[in-house]
Amino acid sequence: MATTGLHALKTYLPTWVQDWLEVIVPGLQILLIIFVAWMLQRLLRRLVARAAAHYQLPDELLVPIKGLIRWILVASAFLLVLERMGVSATVLWTALTGFATVGAVAFFAAWSVLSNLFCALLIFTVRPFRVGDYIEVLDTAEKPGAKGRVVDINLLYTTLEDHHHAGPEGTWLQIPNALIFQRVVRRWRGPPPAEAAAPAPPAVAAAVQESPLTTTAP
């Protein structure tokens, strides 16, 4: 229908305009695609900035989100521009499926890194703990685990100041973010309570009870 309307429009235009019409129309369409992609990018960036301010997301998390939005819009606009320039839709679909296959392989190859990134997003939004809290990452609720004060949370690791082996320069534990969501996490708002001294073994206790309570003077 658009082609029919274009041919009908040519009959009312001068000859020199008809020669350039096949260049002007695709050019205007390409400019429109670029303009719409630019407006969408600005709109999405504002929405992400408002969401980040509302949920208090760190800058380390905003950078990859903004980059992902930008590259998705650029790739979409590029494919639409190629189509307007006469590239076959079959060629575009073949290229798109090829890129999707490569992306899927890369996704599974980097699954551990991506899982840490996703868990970092959950930590920043759900807030199971914050910087300054004391936590303990346990295999089960009965067994002791890595314990310390949270000093940093980045896109890959949560860093703890070791509670048990605090040396003169400090000892740090870097726990992958994905591991935290696979374990039991005990959390304290302030410093954890001091651990009670372990009871003496039964043999040692019996020996103490049997030992004389008094000594004879020389």
Interval 139-175: pLDDT, tens: 766 677 788 888 988 888 899 988 666 555 668 888 8
Does this model's pTM top 0.85? My answer is: no
- Express as a percent the part of the chain with pLDDT over 90: 5
Which range in 59-68, 70-79, 156-165, 191-200 is most confidently predicted, on average pLDDT?
70-79
User: Which band of pLDDT confidence, cut at 50, 70 and 90, is reported for residue 43?
Assistant: very high
Checking if the pLDDT of 185 tops 90, the result is no
**Type of residue numbered 176:** P
